[in-house]
């Protein structure tokens, strides 16, 4: 398995980010074809109590790298990707990792 890790930087308006994520982005992400598992949640802080570099982390698991890439290029993947630009005011780091 491989996963797409989306690490969102701290947004200008965290409450607006959280609302948009729950109401709009999560449903879009969950429509991506061949998504094997999806997890997303707020970063509560760094383990040492300092500020964490990210506000929110989402992970999308796929069978393999080919399937991840095909899924992200599908209309549903493109729609979810385009939506990120509308609410991720703190930026988003997208990484592909072994899982």
What residues line the site for a second copy (CB under 8 A)?
A: 2-5, 39, 41-48, 52-54, 57, 65, 72, 93-99
CB of 50 to a second copy, least distance (A): 10
DSSP letter (8 states) at residue 87: H
Nearest Cα residue to 58 out of 22, 82, 23, 86: 22
CB of 69 to a second copy, least distance (A): 9
Q: Are 2 and 99 in contact (CB under 8 A)?
A: yes
**CA dihedral of residues 19, 22, 28, 33 (deg, nearest 10):** 160
CB of 60 to a second copy, least distance (A): 10
* Nearer of residues 72 and 87 to a second copy, judged by Cβ: 72
Pair of tokens at residue 12: 């200008």
CB of 43 to a second copy, least distance (A): 5
* Nearer of residues 57 and 89 to a second copy, judged by Cβ: 57
* Nearer of residues 77 and 87 to a second copy, judged by Cβ: 77
d(CA 85, CA 92): 9
């Amino acid at each position: 398995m491989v996963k797409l890790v989306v690490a969102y930087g701290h947004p200008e308006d965290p409450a607006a980010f959280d609302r948009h994520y729950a109401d709009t982005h999560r449903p879009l992400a969950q429509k991506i074809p061949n998504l094997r598992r999806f997890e997303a949640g707020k970063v509560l802080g760094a383990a040492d109590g300092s500020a964490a570099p990210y506000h929110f982390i989402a992970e999308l698991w796929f069978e393999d790298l080919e399937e991840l890439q095909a899924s992200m290029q599908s209309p549903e993947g493109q729609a979810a990707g385009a939506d990120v630009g509308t609410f991720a005011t703190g930026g988003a780091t997208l990484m592909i990792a072994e899982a």
